[in-house]
Amino acid sequence: MPYTDVAALIEDAEARDQQAARDSENLAMLVDRVDFEVGFEYVSGVTDPDDPEIARERALRKKHGIKPPSMPIYAPVAQRAPEITAELVERYRAAQKPYQIPEPKQSKLDLLNRSRAEAGR
């Protein structure tokens, strides 16, 4: 291979690496969406809308004014670099937070009883 071709390959290496990174992330995003779709289809197929537990959760969501997000929130399930995965998991959790049912507030008596039970162990 002539030295001019090798020099051109070396100069173009960074651009090729950047393109490979974009392609890799685009593929990972497709994996995330396919996983979401498959999981959604499964849950939709096996969930009984008349189940009392489902009805109770829907009532809780309605009581707290929680509506589904306008766009789906995809969990990062594809294999990525650990630092990228950690950032995407944080974003995912932050995006889900407004759509979660708040934990029931405990009375001071419940908290006192729990602390006594833990101290007695």
The beta-carbon contacts of 81-85 under 8 Å, at least 24 apart in sequence, are 84/25
Mean pLDDT of 11-34: 88
pLDDT of residue 86: 96
Please tell me the predicted confidence (pLDDT) of residue 107.
64
24-62 confidence digits (pLDDT tens): 999 999 999 999 999 999 999 998 988 999 999 999 999
pTM for the model stands at 0.67
Residue 121, pLDDT > 60, answer: no
pLDDT of 11 higher than 60: yes
- Joined together, the tokens standing for residue 98 give 């407004």
